[in-house]
Amino acid sequence: MVLRVYNTLTRQIEDFVPLNDKKVNMYVCGPTVYDHCHLGHARSYISFDMIRRYLVYRGYDVRYVSNITDVDDKIIARAKETGRDPFELSSRFTLSFIEDMDALNVLRPDVQPRVTEHIPEIIGTIQVLIGRGLAYPTSRGNVYYDLTRSLDRVGILSRQTVEGLLEGSGSRVEVEEDKRYRLDFVLWKSSSESEPGWDSPWGRGRPGWHIECSVMSMKYCAQQLDIHGGGADLIFPHHEAEILQSEGYTGLRPFSRYWLHNGFLTIDNEKMSKSLGNFFTIKKVLEEFPPEVIRFFILNTHYRSTINFSEQHLEEAGRAYERMANTISNIRYAIANAPGKGGDFGLLEEVGQARDSFIMSMDEDFNTREALANLFVFSRRVNAIISENSPDRAALEEVLAFLSEIDEVLGIFGKVLETHEEAAEGMSDGEVEAIIQQREEARKARDWARSDAIRDELKEKGIIVEDGKEGVRWKRS
């Protein structure tokens, strides 16, 4: 089986072949930190987290870099509105973003570079572009990328034409009147005294938005990436600008072998976004829904499809998630009461098939939707086997081990599985049974006080003892 991914560059699903055998350099555009992040951001970063985790699962050595845009016009505007210092604002929301990602079990990037810490490298890259005749400074202290030098590359990702773009930009008032050509984009922007700025050969200014990703991906990944990711709204102009800048700088094509874009999370069929004001922050949603349910909700749709958000959809996801989590509890209960030997009653074959179908779905452009649907089928079969037979402990442990294995990719069962491990760490089944035997002896001797005391003691340790017609049963709470 071979991993296949949808490449925005070719608009096709292609075999995944990294530039260096098993090594994968992956760069994902990070947030602009001027507010708390919303569920649309969660969608993007959970999707790429899943993709990163699956690549690791398939044996790739992944380097994952994702930036923080901590100087930007939106940050400056918000700081002005609220009377705050722009650096204070961006520091605060950088921390808020990291906190949200941790809560959602999004693994931290190997490097999470901030723009403000890379100004000298950005200036150096712009100087090289100017030296190659690909960019030009203006008398107002701005620097632009000269698009007339790369007209054949316009639309490479977005499939737009120069004519279409010119038409589209025709009615817009041009703020940057010092551009030579209407489609040129800014690399360096002059700053007024009240705006954040750094000294440069072109005067005091700050980077344009696109240049940071070219610079930081080259610095921390490689001059040529295997995967570049982001939301579909970044395809144009941001990612096309990155391609021109990076390829202009290195002379190497392609800048990224694969371009992956997540679909939008919408609300009432409109993209959830800060600028539209139709957003629910991650923090707000976390007040009502556990992080694993939010993750499950997002992964239950293919990463390229649109997800329409509503509270009702999240509640439904919560119920579906609960069913899956219950299977884990059932297995744990069965393990507590399982015979040491006896047979697997088909469980091992089910696990083998479930693993194959998980890989098959995920290999086809990370189809988590199908993978989760298959997992439900697996879970129903496991429940049926457990309720009709008594598979031995080793077979049941194998099912849990498989769920832990795929949870390295999904990241949704951690808490339920941990509870199992904690319980197992507390007291072994053999120890529990030995204590229960002592209780049996106390009962035979009609020493009710001692029998009750043993039961209470076990309860404190999370072991529930039930006296039934067929003898004593116990389970972990």
User: Sign of dihedral through CA atoms 50, 211, 189, 195?
Assistant: positive
The one of Zn ion, ligand AMP, none whose footprint includes residue 213, by CB under 5 to 8 A per kind, is Zn ion
With CB under 5 A as the rule, give the number of residues binding Zn ion: 2
**What are the φ/ψ torsions at residue 329 (nearest 5 degrees)?**
-60, -40
Of 206-214, 244-252, 255-263, 429-437, the segment contacting Zn ion by CB under 5 A is 206-214
In 3-state terms, what secondary structure has residue 307?
A: strand
Specify the residue, 230 or 391, whose C-beta has the smaller distance to ligand AMP. 230
Whole-number Å distance between alpha carbons of 473 and 334:
11
Q: What angle do CA 45, 48, 52 make, to 5 degrees?
A: 135
Specify the residue, 230 or 411, whose C-beta has the smaller distance to ligand AMP. 230
User: In the bound complex, what is the minimum distance in angstroms from residue 213's beta carbon to Zn ion?
Assistant: 3
- Span 34-73, contacts to ligand AMP by CB under 6 A: 40-41, 43-44
Considering the rule CB under 5 A, would residue 399 count as an interface residue with Zn ion? Answer: no
Whole-number Å distance between alpha carbons of 122 and 212:
7
Specify the residue, 65 or 458, whose C-beta has the smaller distance to Zn ion. 65
Considering the rule CB under 6 A, would residue 233 count as an interface residue with ligand AMP? Answer: yes
Interface with ligand AMP (CB under 6 A), residue from 31, 141, 205, 411: 31
> DSSP secondary structure string, 19-68?
TBTTEEEEEE---B-SS--BHHHHHHHHHHHHHHHHHHHTT-EEEEEE-B
Whole-number Å distance between alpha carbons of 285 and 289:
6
Of 137-145, 218-226, 260-268, 295-303, the segment contacting ligand AMP by CB under 6 A is 260-268
Specify the residue, 101 or 400, whose C-beta has the smaller distance to ligand AMP. 101
Considering the rule CB under 6 A, would residue 90 count as an interface residue with ligand AMP? Answer: no
Specify the residue, 265 or 293, whose C-beta has the smaller distance to ligand AMP. 265
Of 129-137, 167-175, 214-222, 226-234, the segment contacting ligand AMP by CB under 6 A is 226-234
Report whether 227 contacts 3 (CB < 8 A): no
Those residues with Cβ within 8 angstroms of residue 23's Cβ, 6 or more apart along the chain or in another chain: 60, 61, 63, 226
Considering the rule CB under 5 A, would residue 213 count as an interface residue with Zn ion? Answer: yes
Report whether 27 contacts 213 (CB < 8 A): yes
User: In the bound complex, what is the minimum distance in angstroms from residue 35's beta carbon to ligand AMP?
Assistant: 9
Specify the residue, 29 or 354, whose C-beta has the smaller distance to ligand AMP. 29
The one of Zn ion, ligand AMP, none whose footprint includes residue 47, by CB under 5 to 8 A per kind, is none
In 3-state terms, what secondary structure has residue 261?
A: strand
Amino acid at 279: F
CA-wise closest residue to 89 among 107, 77, 101: 77
Specify the residue, 43 or 53, whose C-beta has the smaller distance to ligand AMP. 43
Interface with Zn ion (CB under 5 A), residue from 28, 29, 123, 221: 29
Residue appearing with tokens 């049926």? 384
User: In the bound complex, what is the minimum distance in angstroms from residue 238's beta carbon to ligand AMP?
Assistant: 8
Binding track, positions 175-214, relative to ligand AMP; x by CB under 6 A:
----------------------------------------
* Per-residue DSSP letter, 264: P
Those residues with Cβ within 8 angstroms of residue 74's Cβ, 6 or more apart along the chain or in another chain: 32, 34
Considering the rule CB under 6 A, would residue 109 count as an interface residue with ligand AMP? Answer: no
Whole-number Å distance between alpha carbons of 287 and 36:
14
Considering the rule CB under 6 A, would residue 264 count as an interface residue with ligand AMP? Answer: yes
The one of Zn ion, ligand AMP, none whose footprint includes residue 265, by CB under 5 to 8 A per kind, is ligand AMP
Hey, what are 356's tokens?
Answer: 């194959």
Torsion of CA 408, 410, 412, 416, to 10 degrees: -40
Considering the rule CB under 6 A, would residue 420 count as an interface residue with ligand AMP? Answer: no
Decide: residue 85, CB within 10 A, 0-12 exposed, 13-18 middle, 19+ buried.
exposed
The one of ligand AMP, Zn ion, none whose footprint includes residue 142, by CB under 5 to 8 A per kind, is none
Specify the residue, 191 or 273, whose C-beta has the smaller distance to ligand AMP. 273
The one of Zn ion, ligand AMP, none whose footprint includes residue 89, by CB under 5 to 8 A per kind, is none
The one of Zn ion, ligand AMP, none whose footprint includes residue 233, by CB under 5 to 8 A per kind, is ligand AMP
The footprint of ligand AMP (CB under 6 A) covers: 29, 31-32, 40-41, 43-44, 230-231, 233-234, 262, 264-265, 271-273
Binding site for Zn ion (CB under 5 A): 29, 213
